[in-house]
Amino acid sequence: MDHVISGVAKFQKDVYPTKKETFQKLANGQNPEVLFITCADSRIDPNLVTQTDPGELFICRNAGNIVPPHSNQTGGMTASIEFAVAALGVTHIVVCGHTDCGAMKGALNPEKLDSLPHVKEWLGHCRCASEVVKEKHGELTADQLDELTKENVLQQMQHLRTHPAVAAKLATDQVQLHGWVYNIESGTVLCHNPETGVFEEMEQAYAERKLVAAK
């Protein structure tokens, strides 16, 4: 904990002065372009990976980068998504999974989560992804962790479409959805390309999307 406390002191002394003007502007409001939904895993730093400054990303984090389907029962994710889209007017939503995800390991072996009942229930929102992978292979094994991680991103994007605020903006082309998977070891980011249906290197995926949009 000492290094965390000393980090605050370093921020106040060395970092804040260099970005003082930015923070003064942010003191009275925010105008992020992107809602970034990712895992709570301590190894993931959205601002570091995307090289963005405070105020650019509206970040929602939880175990497994999960988006529960919309329901009449209010939850933190539901409220945050509604606020980001309907009130802040974000124009892009990223669902970002990652390699070696503990939540996805739990989804592969839910029977091992009996001592973590809340985690087990939460990961029920990944069941659709698990069933898709299982249907393709006949079983779920540790070898399918990366595939499940990608499929989970796609299923959470599907869940996003059930949220009224998101559905409305998608219908009028005011919001775009993006599915990413971050590789912790290599630092690479794979992006789902809706044209090919696969996850590709970021530059390739977005180059193809721009090409299609230009036609």
Residue numbering of the annotated binding site for Zn(2+): 39, 41, 98, 101
Closest among 69, 58, 140 to 105, alpha carbons compared: 140
Known binding site: residues? Answer: 39, 41, 98, 101
Cα-flanking dihedrals φ and ψ of residue 189, to 5°? -125, 120
> What is each CA distance from 96 to 6, 65, 145, in whole angstroms?
30, 7, 15
Taking the C-alpha atoms of residue 179 and residue 165, their distance in angstroms, rounded to an integer, is: 19
**By three-state DSSP, how is residue 185 classified?**
coil
As a residue count, the chain comes to 215
